[in-house]
Amino acid sequence: MWEHIRSRVTVFNRMRKLEWIESEGGPLLLAPRSRLRDWSGIDVRESESQSDYDRACAITDEVGIISIGDGSAVVLGDMPDRTALVTEHAATDVFIVRWRCAASEESLLAALFADSSIQRLPYADACWMATGAEEYMLFDSAYNGAEIERYLSVSLQAGGYSIETCEFKPDKATNAVVHRMQLDLTGGKH
């Protein structure tokens, strides 16, 4: 039996290898590529009293929305968790996986994707964001958007995404926060 399970995990890992990013201590930001020039990171613009990074740090929930130029971005709580983006169904579903603790990446991913567990988690509504059809970049919010070198990216569709969140604790040794972004053409009105 254990050989069969190990075999399934090995096949899974060959099929789905995630790329991870983490911050140097502050929140991560998922922002539209077209608005990156509007993000100043820790620098304070002359016309403003606080930095964009300070605004991101003011988000006290696990996930929130912040303005960036004439658009919006997702702020991921003030923890430097390793974070990955997982897309499903032509980017109508995007999962943001924040790895808090696990024996290994393999054990975390095996638990998250066993029998489509990631789809069936008890998500709670968190926020809603209008989106354009473009590439969104996930990076450390301390950096100036025009100068980021390390990032993950995902292409989102036009309309908007409802964002839900869930703490995933399948056992004592595994903990992650998972945010699900689902394409929502209702404009956030349910």
Residues in the chain: 190
Helix (H) or strand (E) holding 147: none
Query: How would you class 144 by CB atoms within 10 Å of its CB: exposed for 0-12, middle for 13-18, buried for 19 or more?
Result: middle
Residue 11, in any domain of the structure: no
For residues 15, 16, 19 and 20, what is the CA-based torsion angle, rounded to 10 degrees?
-150
Close Cβ partners of 50 (under 8 Å, ≥ 6 residues apart): 44
Separation CA 88–CA 99 (nearest Å): 19
120 phi, psi to nearest 5 deg = -105, 10
Residue 1, in any domain of the structure: no
C-beta separation of 51 from 44 below 8 A: yes
In sequence order, what E strands does 25-133 have?
A: 28-32, 63-68, 71-76, 82-88, 93-101, 124-131
Each residue's pLDDT tens digit, 136-166: 999 999 999 999 999 999 999 999 999 999 9
| pTM of the predicted model as reported, rounded to 2 decimal places | 0.87
Residue 33, in any domain of the structure: yes
Instruction: For the chain, give the mean pLDDT.
Output: 87
Separation CA 75–CA 166 (nearest Å): 16
Q: How confident is the model at residue 184 (pLDDT cuts 50, 70, 90)?
A: confident
For residue 5, is pLDDT > 50?
Answer: no
Residue 13, in any domain of the structure: no
> In one letter, which amino acid is 146?
A
For residue 168, is pLDDT > 60?
Answer: yes
Q: How confident is the model at residue 117 (pLDDT cuts 50, 70, 90)?
A: confident
Residue 189, in any domain of the structure: no
**Structural domain for 68, as ranges:** 20-183
Percentage above 70 pLDDT, the chain: 88
Which of 104, 137, 129, 117 has the alpha carbon at shortest distance from 178? 117
* Pairing, β 159-171 against β 152-156: unpaired
Residue 79, in any domain of the structure: yes
* CA atoms within 13 Å, Cβ hemisphere of 22: 9
Residue 12, in any domain of the structure: no
More confident residue, 12 or 35: 35
For residue 29, give the 3-state DSSP assignment. Answer: strand
State how many domains the chain has. 1
Q: What is the pLDDT of residue 12?
A: 43
